[in-house]
Amino acid sequence: MIDPRAGALRDLLTGRLIAATLTPRSPDGIDPDVLKAYFDGLVADGVEALAVAAHTGRGPFLSLAERDLVVSVARRVGVPVLVGVNGDGDHASAQAARAADLGADGVLVFASSGEIVAHHDAIWRAAGLPMIAFDLYLNPYPPADLAELMRHPGVAGLKVARLHDAIACQAGIATARAAGRLAVTGEDRMFGPSLMWGAQAALVGLAAAAVETTAATLRAWRERRFADFVAASARTDALAEATFTMPVDGYVQRMQWIAAAEGRIPTSHVTDPHAPDLPAGEQDRVVEAAR
- pLDDT tens digits for range 67-98: 999 999 999 999 999 999 999 889 999 999 99
Amino acid identity of 192? G
How confident is the model at residue 172, as a pLDDT? 98
Amino acid identity of 74? A
Q: What angle do CA 26, 30, 31 make, to 5 degrees?
A: 95
Q: Is the pLDDT of residue 181 over 90?
A: yes
C-alpha span between 216 and 237 (Å, rounded)? 12
Average pLDDT score over residue span 130-159: 96
Q: Looking at the whole model, is its pTM more than 0.95?
A: yes
What is the set of domains in the chain, with CATH numbers? 4-233 (3.20.20.70)
DSSP state of 187: -
How confident is the model at residue 41, as a pLDDT? 98
Q: Is the pLDDT of residue 119 over 90?
A: yes
Q: Is the pLDDT of residue 135 over 90?
A: yes
Q: Is the pLDDT of residue 109 over 90?
A: yes
Q: Which of 61, 205, 186, 207 is nearest to 135 (CA)?
A: 186
C-alpha span between 291 and 289 (Å, rounded)? 5
Instruction: Give the list of residues 6+ apart from residue 86 with CB closer than 8 angstroms, or none.
Output: 59, 60, 92, 95, 110
Could you report the per-residue pLDDT of 217-263, keeping only the tens digit for each? 999 999 999 999 999 999 999 999 999 999 999 999 999 999 999 99
Helix (H, G, I), strand (E, B) or coil at 109: strand
How confident is the model at residue 93, as a pLDDT? 96
Average pLDDT score over residue span 113-138: 95
Q: How confident is the model at residue 186 (pLDDT cuts 50, 70, 90)?
A: very high
How confident is the model at residue 116, as a pLDDT? 93
Q: Is the pLDDT of residue 17 over 90?
A: yes
Kindly report the average pLDDT of the chain as a whole number: 97
Average pLDDT score over residue span 27-41: 97
Q: How confident is the model at residue 65 (pLDDT cuts 50, 70, 90)?
A: very high
Q: How confident is the model at residue 176 (pLDDT cuts 50, 70, 90)?
A: very high
Average pLDDT score over residue span 97-124: 95
